[in-house]
Amino acid sequence: MRVLITSGRTIAQGKKLYYKDTPAYSDETARCFIHPFDLLELGAEEGDSLSLSTAAGEEVFSVAPSEDLVPGTVFIPCGPHANAILHAQTHGTGAPDYKWLEGTVTRTDLPPRSGWDILAGQGGAACPPVPAPSGGGGGGTVTVRDVVCPLCGCLCDDLVVRVEGGAVTSVDNACSLGSEKFLSRSRLMHPVSNDGGFWRAVDFEEAIRYAAEVLADAEHPLLFGWSGTSAEAQCTGIHIAEAVGGVIDNCSSICHGPSILGIQEAGHPGCSLGVVKNRADVVIYWGSNPIESHPRHLSRYTTFADGKYRENGHHDRTLVVVDIRKTDTARIADEFIRIKPGGDYAAFSALRAILKGHADILPAGVAGIPRERLIQLADLCRNAQFGALFTGIGLTQSPGRYKNVRNAIQLVDELNRHTKFTLTPMRGHWNVNGTNQTFSYLTGYPYGVDFARGTPYYNPGETTAVDLLGRGEVDACLIIGADPGAHLPRRCNEHLATIPTIVIDPFVSLSTSFANLHIPVACVGIDCEGTGYRMDSIPIRLRKILDLGLPTDEEVLSQILRLVREGARSRATGRTELWSPVKVGGIPRVS
């Protein structure tokens, strides 16, 4: 059976983001949501196995019936199973087709594989389970208030965290996703290196020295991630990329990079989330499901929040959701509009035509939406006192990509001829917006910056991570604040397995599978402080609430930068003793 495959976040998948080495994570990412009518045609039922096949590969999933989808459409959670069938084509934008993948589905008797097994087939090696961190050496119970949550772009700053014996024991006010990060025990406490599939502990000094050597010796290294670390560390990373003549890219290239391209073309009619909370009476989520991706977004900033001019919360607001499936957010919306997959650009164009008085030229339906429904939506927006449009990656990872966002911005511009309307991309990771701020400040470009020429060069589709890895153009990789092992196409991971790869992360991740070296660091917002940028570009300082004795990512990167610069000076003066010809700190070199 031919189907259209789309992927995205689920609450269950999100709660296991920091437990990716567990079977529970693999069980969730192996689920395949499919309409019951399609199951009848396939002769399958809940719990059976289905094989999804695309031009990139084939993978087995477990059936999860869902009437939220239209027949012929399949939804799978983000993760290694989805990426095993995802190609590395980005159509010149840097973002693969996470939301638009054509393939076939058939019955099979094979069980789904675990995430580690999938990555092993791509050249990775499973990391052994890690012991729970023991904390910072005791102490009494401490309650820390007004803690900032380092999980998603909401950066909620009202958490109450209890620390006992050097470990977090409870978290109040956080969503289920944020709580799991604070309570996670999947922390590495010392660096580990992969020597032929066998993991062994190394000390920080030799690990940092090895990382510096790999980056300095590479012809075209890639430094990728950065959305899960502080703005201070990001700045240091940019200096490293410049020093080694490499490429530095962040997670926005695979999610809201097309949003940035649209903003570069049409501007950004944005505002702070506080303005939305206090003023908005019409809130639209288009291609976004915040209940599962940003669980507190509605309660803190939009629909259910009591604002200065919206004292009655949701009674004073109208919530509209536009999506290809009936998500949990759509279930609570005042208006749910189901749109045909790939129809966003046409729908925005139709709304613009209506606002300009040309509703009569529209056909009876546009992108699966009846003309009368579009007219009602246009009238609702035009008559709003203050409207807020939140765009998700449903726009950026499907046909149209940045043009969808540009058209949405032009729609907001047209609405501002009648009322006040704003647009805000729903940024995912807690500091992915910060990467665009720091990259733009220091290099002039928001992501995908290549220093091979000695000066910054930016061209999405050429200098972005998926394209570089997919074409095999980088010969070393530093991963920090991201998990490409869980979120990049299989072709990218297959290349990671062939080159020296260093992971800097507080947690064991699926990217550890491809690492020659994993350096654990303190987690920003938990055991170290740092600066993050909320999705509306408001900088917020994250606090340290406990001490596990680990170095911060900024400290590790600063030492790497120092060694790289010392090596460059040594080479310039003819000294070659800085790097060992065979080993650095006991870690085998990778040629």
Under 8 Å between Cβ of 50 and 108:
yes
- Percent of the chain at pLDDT > 90 equals 91
Confidence of residue 127 (pLDDT cuts 50, 70, 90): confident
pLDDT tens digits, 325-372? 999 999 999 999 999 999 999 999 999 999 999 999 999 999 999 999
pLDDT for the residue numbered 575: 58
pLDDT, average across residues 232-237? 99
Task: For residue 551, give the DSSP letter.
Answer: P
pLDDT tens digits, 288-322? 999 999 999 999 999 999 999 999 999 999 999 99
How does strand 318-323 pair with strand 335-338?
Answer: parallel
Interatomic CA distance for residues 581 and 591, integer angstroms: 11
DSSP track, 234-271 = HHHHHHHHHHHT-EEEEGGGGTTHHHHHHHHHH-----
Interatomic CA distance for residues 169 and 185, integer angstroms: 11
Prediction pTM value: 0.94
Domains of the chain: 2-121 (2.40.40.20), 187-255+430-533+550-588 (3.40.50.740), 273-421 (3.40.228.10)
Q: Which residues pair with 501 in a beta bridge?
A: 477
pLDDT for the residue numbered 140: 81
Exposed (0-12), middle (13-18) or buried (19+): which is 111, by Cβ within 10 Å?
Answer: exposed
Of residues 540, 287, 250, 518, the one with CA closest to residue 395: 287
Interatomic CA distance for residues 205 and 203, integer angstroms: 6
pLDDT for the residue numbered 583: 44
pLDDT of residue 471 exceeding 50, the answer is yes
pLDDT, average across residues 471-486? 97
The type of residue at 543 is R
- Percent of the chain at pLDDT > 70 equals 95
Under 8 Å between Cβ of 337 and 373:
yes
Interatomic CA distance for residues 2 and 102, integer angstroms: 7
Under 8 Å between Cβ of 528 and 552:
yes
Strands ordered across the beta sheet of 221-225: 198-201, 192-195, 517-519, 501-504, 476-480, 221-225, 247-250, 449-450, 457-458
pLDDT tens digits, 397-436? 999 999 999 999 999 999 999 999 999 999 999 999 999 9
Question: Chain centroid to CA 422: how far?
Answer: 23
pLDDT for the residue numbered 146: 97
Interatomic CA distance for residues 544 and 529, integer angstroms: 5
Confidence of residue 449 (pLDDT cuts 50, 70, 90): very high
DSSP track, 47-110 = T-EEEEE-SS-EEEEEEEE-TTSPTTEEEEESSHHHHTT-----TTTT---TT-EEEEEEEESP
Confidence of residue 238 (pLDDT cuts 50, 70, 90): very high
Q: Which two tokens stand for residue 322?
A: 């536009």
